[in-house]
Amino acid sequence: MSFGAYPERVDLDLWVAAGAAAWGAGAGVLVPRAAYRLCVEPEQPWRDRCPDGHPIDGWVGRARCTDGRPYGPRTALVCAATALVCGALALATGARPELAVWLLLAPAGVLLTLVDFRVRRLPDVLTLPLAAAALVLLAVAAALPGHAGHWRTALLGALALGGAYCVLFLVNPNGMGFGDVKLALGLGGMLGWYGWPTVVLGTFAGFLFGGLYGLGLVLARRAGRRTAIPFGPFLIAGALVGLLTGAYAA
């Protein structure tokens, strides 16, 4: 690439990032109501009514009952978070085929984060399709020119990380839920796309974030050493760090 072409490339990356952020903001509109519907205890059906018993219709925006009162996450905050995540992924990845995969899966990661923080569960209706979609979409990206990853290591990363978390679950079921194991399949596939160092980095970052959060709760006397915390959000945050680093270095 010539020096004269460099500013054009920067401009292209900025336009891609702006478009990705706009996509994230638009996709984020679908997250708050879905989060409210899915924030239920295990074995309970999805919510279709507000706390007062009024029916909830549709999937766009914040959940509202018939008298207009809102429930669940605020749409503006969710849209801002989703836009930030998508924009950051675009800046790191550039106009490569795998960026489309990250942008399609990012809203699901935000949704899983909200649900796990609220009710400490990762619904199968989200984690299993996420894993399948990651591998299928990355296979498509691997067939396109200009990609910067490898589908084989994505598959192996999914199996390795899912298997490792399954072992941790069997050793200490009280310390990790099986939903985390299913989530690890999808995250392992995405991290594996950029190679094993990215898998290691994303996994380490997830444990680091979770450990710091737990330590903060203990120091604030809001939890004890044996208090269970939602681990899914930190798995996702760690995977995001790994993806950003791997995409930028690729």
Residue ranges of domains in the chain = 3-249
pLDDT of residue 167: 93
Percent share of the chain, pLDDT over 90: 61
pLDDT bracket for residue 5 (50, 70, 90): very low
Percent share of the chain, pLDDT over 70: 92
Q: In terms of pLDDT, which residue wins out, 176 or 202?
A: 202
**Average pLDDT of 138-147?**
96
pLDDT bracket for residue 61 (50, 70, 90): confident
pTM score of the predicted model: 0.90
Q: Which residues contact 123 (CB under 8 A, 6 or more apart)?
A: 38, 115, 179
As given in the structure block, the two tokens for residue 103 are 């942008």
pLDDT of residue 238: 96
Between 97-111, 186-200, 222-236, the lowest mean confidence (pLDDT) is in 222-236
Task: Report CA 157 to chain centroid distance, whole Å.
Answer: 16
